[in-house]
A and B are shown apart, each in its own frame.
Chain A
């Protein structure tokens, strides 16, 4: 009898662990969205389809491509370039699996821009946020050492069938698309809403 009760307790515990895990997953994102600093990022969406999730838009940001010559960096750009030129792309990209990108909003500007890309987390002052760039891909154009980063805000779920509309409007150069994201003090990031010409098209809440 005792063993059976033990089994029941164990079973209940693992169900609770699973529920707590899901709650933590949701809770951590809620924390970011509610407590984080809200910043605006310029985008241009493109749209694939996901079978399981209905519809989503792929978001590509201005900050997704960073020219290392225009920001401060502690990365050895000369060595990266040398390895890249020698065809050792994998070696280069493996060094860019994780980097910290500091963003600021310059005076009078609407959108936040990168000012540094570093391998160590930099200090954050007021008016700055730091986010993690992941899976960086080095993509050298002429003398421009460009890195393409992912920030975990590249896809956004929209109601079934509306993804293509957003994509079509985004291809229209006359419409200004941007995304409102929240960055909490730990550098976690989450999408709050998508805007077109100042009008909110879709929001997480």
Chain B
């Protein structure tokens, strides 16, 4: 009853022990009675919860330090041997590579899972083992001058990391694997006219299920970033293969659709995969992505690019299949959320808003306005997207209130500010005298900033 509330949350172990000693003093001095003292202590009676949270925090910190240490150690060892490499005979080189990998994995395993002393350091050693495996690939390639299709080295390294991630289920190794796969696909996609579907398969079939199984929030965020990098590069490849000059408008458009998909998915996955903990990080990256893409599309220059870009019909069949699949499943998700998952009028408006955004971004790419004479100086899509952008600001603010998440409120206000400054430069730069332009702008920003910051703090303190 009275013990509910926020008073216990976020209290440190030191504070609790300080409170105990203070209460002892108050009792001695007769300020409070025995009964009152036990009442107060009862109010903070579950310090172990906080202590556990504290422990978790500090063990996370230690894990991070251990991982950083293992990366430094790994780089040091690799550089040391790289510098003296040609003076060592081949059998000794191979011995060093195999010995280092085996020893690192085995000692790491022994410390982390067998003896269970220095668990953090043991896990960091297994992480280092994956780094050494990669170094082994590059060093053997160097010994025997293997240089056929260099991205393959990165692929083999990622697969090695994936194996270790699957067996040990260690989140840092899942994150490392995603990073390696991303570097691999960037190498593969940037030089070889290759869309690299193998990346897509590996991510969807192996990495994403693992991220879900382990409920790795970092893994989920990294996977989203990685996938958007793949999609951007794939976009360039598709346009190049279709013999078009790659246009950023298609990339922005398809990333926007992907982030809307992610937002809709973040709500569905809660019930579908029973992973409520993943909803928040996925939503945050999705909204951030939507904001960035919409912002990029608020410029007239982007609409000019769409008008100049060649027709989407030149794109190769595989890209069309992927876009259509993405859009159909997105519409499915929106429909599902509308009818099933989120009852209530507000939630329904949200789905309608998403649908509107999908339609505008699709129309933007697929049916660009090409006839310059009809629309001299008028930019219908830019206007629509600017309105959508402001709509997003309002929506994300409301979302912050509804879900009591300051991160959404901060995000909405920051993007609002960026938009205001941008439009100020866009529209008033030519109209006003330079000195008045800067003075007025500076004054407006100062006053606006103070008001906005005051409001923001008030809102966030109300939420807490």
Contact = CB atoms under 8 A, between A and B. Distances in A.
B145 A153 contact: yes
Interface of B: 78, 82-83, 85-87, 90, 94, 97-98, 101-102, 105-106, 109, 113-114, 129, 133, 136-138, 140-149, 156, 160, 163-164, 167-168, 192-193, 240-241, 243
A152 B144 contact: no
Contacts of B243: 88, 90-91
14 contacts: A8-B109, A11-B105, A19-B98, A22-B97, A22-B136, A22-B140, A29-B146, A97-B193, A134-B149, A135-B192, A153-B145, A157-B86, A190-B146, A204-B144
A186 interface: no
A151 to B, nearest CB: 8
A14 interface: yes
A201 interface: no
What band does the interface of chain A fall in when counting residues whose beta carbon is under 8 Å from B? Answer: 35 or more
A15 interface: yes
B169 to A, nearest CB: 10
Interface string A20-56: 0111011001100100000000000000000011100
A53 to B, nearest CB: 5
Contacts of A10: 167
A15 B145 contact: no
Contacts of B87: 159
Contact of A156 (B97, B145, B160, B167): B145
Contact of A90 (B136, B141, B240): B240
Interface in A183-205: 190-191, 204-205
A158 interface: yes
A30 B160 contact: no
A70 B160 CA distance: 45
Contacts of A88: 243
B90 A205 contact: yes
A4 B160 CA distance: 22
A158 B145 contact: no
B97 A11 contact: no
Contacts of A54: 82-83, 85-86
A18 B167 contact: no
Contacts of A17: 163
Nearest to B94: A26
B138 A14 contact: no
Closest 7 CB pairs of A and B: A152-B148, A29-B144, A159-B86, A14-B163, A191-B145, A15-B105, A155-B147
A88 B147 CA distance: 28
B145 A190 contact: yes
A205 B90 CA distance: 7
B92 to A, nearest CB: 13
A84 to B, nearest CB: 13
A159 B156 CA distance: 26
Contacts of B145: 153, 155-157, 190-191, 204
Contacts of A190: 144-146
A165 interface: no
Contacts of B148: 134, 150, 152
Contact of A21 (B105, B160, B193): B160
Interface centre among A14, A97, A205 (most CB of B within 10 A): A14
B193 A93 contact: yes
A155 B142 CA distance: 9
Contact of A18 (B78, B101, B106): B101
B206 to A, nearest CB: 14
Nearest to A16: B102
Nearest to A24: B140
A20 to B, nearest CB: 10
A23 B87 CA distance: 21
Contacts of B137: 22, 25
A132 to B, nearest CB: 8
A62 interface: no
A26 B101 contact: no
Interface string A61-87: 000000000000000000000000000
Contacts of B102: 15, 19
A19 B82 CA distance: 20
A53 B82 contact: yes
Nearest to B136: A22
Interface in A129-180: 134-135, 150, 152-160
Contacts of B90: 205
A25 B146 contact: yes
Nearest to B113: A7
B246 to A, nearest CB: 11
A68 to B, nearest CB: 21
Contacts of A158: 86
A7 B144 contact: no
Contacts of A154: 147
